Structure 1
């Protein structure tokens, strides 16, 4: 039976009983099991009682002995306290009796220390003199190790003699001796560094470190390695003149990378206390700046022989960028996770990209030249003018793709730093491309005639549609270039604003001069503050005027037959018949007896045919033409976008307005009108009004007023003309020879 459960703090009798009665033995005969269990518990109780009695007897027996031991410990503690008090009093007495003696001893010890220092100084002063005397003999022997050992001893002596009056003179003397040693070892140094001898170089590193001249030793290493690399570049240029600057740069970059890895291994064995990465960074930056001939000179010379200068520069730039990426990886590997000098690394990156700074500043010129060359591909002149117009419209996608490629070139060649130049080049490119439209427009103006020419009208609308398509695509190009510029602005700002950033990708500092950086920053600021498009103003001015000019030519082509007929108004024979005797009879005829004259019926018939000619262009969905019309004339802007055939109505309205205005102006140019002529002219005007009404249009207010004034009798002219324009009232009165009563 498990009795361990009785010692549990959370013992529950019910749980223990239930658990016990789960055994099979309890299930078979519960009464017998209970009796057996009770008997066992009683036995356990007896055993526990017996153990408690035995333990109590033992405790009672040992209690007197425990009391005695406790009393002994108490007495010993009291005795120890008395002794400690006695010792404390003795210590206080000793301190009181010997305090003055301790002060004397301390002062004597201080004097001893000062005497030892003075003795050492005298010894070192004597040693300095001995060393200075012996050093001349050692210099004559040429034993570099012995000389350096003597210099180290003098250096140690000088530290102790820091407070002597002639310290500065001794210091100058020591520096002079170090210079003599350095001059003596310089040929050996150059030989060791040039031959890359690890053992010899280590000896010199140890010597120069001991005499505090390690920076000077690193300068010797810098000078030797720089000379080796510059000589390799000169050999490359002299022996491979036929290959060109691109191949020279590619091979020399390979030499530099290979040499970098070799020098990292060598320097790690030799210059254990110096930063290998910083040493090589300084070396490579100086080497790239000091090449003779320089990269810049070689590029400039080669550039003069290139017909496509921009592509040539981009190829070179890609070679350099590839080298810069590999060099950056090499620097990271050499630093082994340790921080490198960011300023030195920036100087290295600038020396890598420095040959391109001048060319990035002239990027606008290179890009403009390239784009103008591409315009030759877009030459659209054909023998037939209609073919030329259609060819020009078909060239629009290619023209835009050329501009898109220019944006990509800007990112590839200048990393976005040349956007100021790109904008200038694109503006000139767009202007020169638009010259083709202007040239065709001049041809249309030259070839248009006074007669009805629907072929010319079709060419004008086709050209206007092409201008609208160009305007739409140029706006999209402007949005794309602007979005690209804003992305570049954020990217360059993040790169240049981060102190921990990688100098090899801080292209604004690498590819631009200070003036170029200010110009680019100004462009970024204007874009971010104003959110304006880069080419918007240029596109708006150029394309809006072009749309307006093409629309004007289109109007002239349509209006030419009308204008020719209206020119007959002033010289019509009907007005001159006032001098004939038949005038009196014709004046008495009723209004319905008059028929419109031929000139106005010709105009009416022409106007009625216009809708069927406009329908192919203006009734179908034509976004490009719609855009061009909206830009060309504000009247189209007032039209709702869902009005079917609305643009044809607007164009008809413009033509009707021009017709009415021209008609009215010609009427006012008539010298004299008789009563019959007045009725005839009024009939002509009414006929035009009926034609316009059939087209859904109406006469102008002035023309309606002229018609009204022509019908008024001389007697009622003064009273019933009061609502008309005073200018028209006066003009018609003069033509009709009506005397003014007022």
Structure 2
């Protein structure tokens, strides 16, 4: 116990002796330092200051320790001030030996950050001057940026080579130099970008931005390639800062990419005229517009990938929907215009029957265009899904889903964790700036990954809108065929001669009295329907995948009645023929039921007319409608047998025919 105590006392005495020695040493050095400073010899002064620093470390517990610290810092400041012209000269002259000497000195006196500040300042001044000269030149901003980036990339390579001989951590030093330079530029790159964007019109804003961004990406790629071989040895925090400094000027524009793209697409689409004075020109423009539409849409995907590296997908989808909405609206207006030009909504009151198949042929061309739209839309959606997943898929982490994302992670999760991340590939402006949009993006990516790129609804609303266009085109074609028939049929109730008491003209000029051959109105209709297969032949003979697709997707009015045999659905031409025939029969029956009164002779005539139409249907292999057959049966029934024949016939039909024939119960 006594020995331990003696040992402890001995240690304290030794420590006290050392402290006294150091205090004495400090006093001696303090006294000498002024003389040493007069020598202006940086190395000698540094050595003295280092010794003083060592002494001071032993005097922590002395009462005037803090005063000594202040004194030492003041001496270091004097050394730094004395050396600064030489430091600047050494860095400007790129003198390796001088610089190494200063690194040694400043390391010894714990002033390395200050030395680096001189280094950064020397080069920053030169680089900022280069930028200011560029800004005052007549060069475009794109050229100014390219020149600046070339200078910075050159600086990276030359300074890295030099710094490797001088500094312990050359990569970090040169990385910080670039970070500081980019921050020191006046005018700053963000200001230059904003000014440039304000000066261009809306229609060229996005293309201008992409042009400028391309120069920046080229620079970033150059830096990335330069850094990759030594990435493991670098300070990744600083590299990440540099990545941010390079790309951040574009952040405001990337965040509003969707709006920029939408505006761009709508301006471009407005330049595609779909309406023309001549119908044939209009039809042709509609056809040409399909490729233009999908070229714009594909271009938008390219823009999204170039400017946002896939992070702007939500904005892209919104812009694409806006594009398709505008297009379908313009297309619909063009169809309305064609309807007007073809007078499909005007029913003339004259009885003149004219055949004109031009409108129908034009309508078929439009239906083919709709088929092409549907086909290209399907292809485009697939392309869109694939490109979204292949570009933005990297942002979808394993943790987002139970299984790993095949195709985007070659390494296993363990390898991935241990691998060095490349900050140039990790840049993600959206995650911090707009978390909700980022969440939507993740959801979209996850859905694409889980369901597969061919099973998705990225543009389902647009696809539906294009299907509606196809439907409108079908109605246009149908109306262009059926209009002639409808014109004739609507005149039936107003025709004179249905009742025996009627005076004036009879049903037709060349038939003063009713004959029991079909009247002209129905024979015209019959012949017209009989000629339909000839005009529908292109449906059968023409091998056009777009037309086929549109015809299968479209629906015609007047579908077959339930219970009818439907062989026609296998054949498009038969389907169309059936639809026109059913429309004719239904409209005919409705027109007949509006005849106010029938004489006995007129009853026979009407039965003959309707029989003729039934024969036409039979000849075409079509089924006469039940209503048509019922009316004919009731017209042929003797007055006394009428109500017996009316059993099983709908009451409305039976009552109307009875009223026409004047047969009351």
1:205 corresponds, among 103, 106, 115, to 103
Which sits farther off after the overlay, 396-405 or 216-225?
A: 396-405
Hey, what does 2:507 align to over in structure 1?
Answer: none
- Per-residue deviation, 1:168: 5.3
1:572 aligns with 2:572: no
Residue in structure 1 matched with residue 425 of structure 2 by the alignment: 505
Q: 1:466 aligns with which of 366, 369, 372?
A: 369
- Matched residue, 1:66: none
Aligned to 1:524: 445
Map of 1:393 onto structure 2: 287
Q: Relative to structure 1, is the Cα distance of residues 366 and 396 closer, same or farther in structure 2, using a 3 angstrom cutoff?
A: same
Q: Which has the higher helix share?
A: 1
Find the partner of 1:222 among 117, 120, 136: 120
Kindly indicate whether the alpha-carbon contact (under 8 Å) linking 2:76 and 2:109 is maintained by their aligned counterparts in 1.
Answer: yes
- Corresponding residue for 1:416? 310
* Structure 2 residue corresponding to 1:328, chosen from 205, 208, 224: 224
1:111 aligns to what?
9
Paired residue secondary structure (1:232): helix
Residue 351 of structure 2 is aligned to residue 477 of structure 1: no
- Alignment partner of 1:689 is 2:614: yes
CA–CA distance in structure 2, aligned partners of residues 734 and 509 of structure 1: 80
Distance 1:308 1:161, change over 3 A: same
CA distance in structure 1 between the partners assigned to 2:11 and 2:172 by the alignment: 45
1-side partners of 2:565 and 2:26: how far apart? 104
Deviates more, 1:682-691 or 1:372-381: 372-381
Which deviates the most, 251-260 or 520-529? Answer: 520-529
Q: Is the 8 A contact 2:164 2:170 kept in 1?
A: yes
Give the SS at the match of 1:670: coil
Report the CA distance between 1:471 and its aligned residue.
Answer: 1.9
Shift of 1:276: 0.7
Alpha-carbon deviations, 1:191-216, whole Å to 9, x = none? Answer: 43334333433333222211222233
Counterpart-to-counterpart distance in 2, 1:162 and 1:712 = 130
Deviation string 1:36-59 (CA, Å, 9 cap, x unpaired) is xxxxxxxxxxxxxxxxxxxxxxxx
Structure 2 equivalent of residue 270 of structure 1: 166
What is the match of residue 582 of structure 2?
657
Residue in structure 2 matched with residue 608 of structure 1 by the alignment = 530
Q: Which residue of 1 aligns with 2:478?
A: 555
Tell me the C-alpha RMSD between the 2 structures.
Answer: 3.8
User: Residues 619 and 648 of structure 1 are in contact (CA less than 8 Å); yes or no, is this contact kept in structure 2?
Assistant: no
Distance, in Å, in 2 between the alignment partners of 1:410 and 1:656 is 51
Distance 2:24 2:658 in 1: 135
Aligned to 2:236: 342
Greater Cα offset, 682-691 or 533-542: 533-542
Query: Within the alignment, does 1:723 sit opposite 2:644 as a pair?
Result: no
Where in structure 1 are there 5+ consecutive unaligned residues?
1-102, 581-591
Q: CA 1:596–1:265 in structure 2 vs 1: closer, same or farther (change >3 Å)?
A: closer
Measured in 2, the distance between the counterparts of 1:413 and 1:568 equals 64
3-state SS, counterpart of residue 570 of structure 1: helix
Give the structure 2 partner of residue 536 of structure 1. 459
| 1:297 and 2:191 are equivalent in the alignment | yes
Trace 1:276-295 onto structure 2 (pairs within 5 A).
276-295=170-189
Matched, 1:627 2:549: yes
How far residue 340 of structure 1 moved from its aligned partner, in angstroms, is 1.1
Q: TM-score, normalised by structure 2?
A: 0.81
Partners in 2 of 1:130 and 1:237 — Cα distance?
57
The answer to whether the Cα contact below 8 Å between 1:198 and 1:266 also exists between their aligned partners in 2 is: yes
Structure with higher Rg: it is 1
CA 1:468–1:705 in 2, change beyond 3 Å: closer, same or farther? Answer: same
Deviation at 1:123, TM superposition (A): 3.0
Give CA-to-partner distance per residue, 1:472-500, whole Å, 9 cap, x none: 12221221122111211334545998762
Q: Name the TM-score, length of structure 1 as normaliser.
A: 0.74
Are the counterparts in 2 of residues 468 and 625 from structure 1 also a CA contact under 8 Å?
yes
State whether residues 452 and 560 of structure 1, in contact with CA within 8 Å, keep that contact through their aligned partners in structure 2.
no
**What is the total number of aligned residue pairs between the two structures?**
621
Task: Summarize the Cα distance change of 1:541–1:177 in structure 2 as closer, same or farther, 3 Å threshold.
Answer: same
1:313-462 equivalences in 2 (<5 Å): 313-332=209-228, 335=230, 338-364=232-258, 367-368=261-262, 371=265, 379=273, 384-390=278-284, 392-394=286-288, 396-397=290-291, 399-434=293-328, 437-449=331-343, 451-462=354-365
Q: Deviations over 1:503-545 (max 9, x none)?
A: 2233544999545645543442343355554653243232112
Higher RCO structure (Cα 8 Å, ≥6 apart)? 2
The CA distance in 1 between the partners of 2:132 and 2:432, in whole Å, is 28
The answer (yes or no) to whether the contact 2:556–2:579 under 8 Å persists in 1 is no
Match of 1:231 among 115, 129, 132: 129
CA distance in 1 between counterparts of 2:357 and 2:625 reads 26
SS at match of 1:222: helix
Deviation at 1:352, TM superposition (A): 1.9
* Secondary structure in 1 matching 2:105: helix
In 1, Cα distance between the equivalents of 2:129 and 2:181?
11
Deviations 1:340-380 (A, max 9, x none): 12221122122222333333344445545655666588557
Does the CA-based 8 Å contact 2:392-2:445 persist in structure 1? yes
Structure 2 residue corresponding to 1:161, chosen from 50, 59, 65: 59
Q: For 1:290 and 1:658, how far apart are their aligned partners in 2?
A: 78
Is there any run of 5+ residues in structure 2 with no aligned partner, and where? 348-353, 397-407, 504-513
**In the alignment, is the contact (CA less than 8 A) between 2:255 and 2:430 conserved in 1?**
no
Q: Is contact 2:470-2:554 (8 Å) kept?
A: yes
Query: What whole-Å deviation, never above 9, does each CA across 1:253-309 have from its counterpart, x for those lacking one?
Result: 2222222233223323322xx311011112212211331122333344445257744
Asked if structure 1 preserves the Cα contact closer than 8 Å seen for 2:517 and 2:608, the reply is yes
Q: Which residue of 2 aligns with 1:667?
A: 592
Give the distance between the partners of 1:386 and 1:593, measured in 2 at CA. Answer: 44
Asked if the contact 1:438–1:546 (Cα under 8 Å) also holds between the matched residues in 2, the reply is: yes
Q: Which residue is 1:257 aligned to?
A: 153
Task: Report deviation, 1:718.
Answer: 4.7
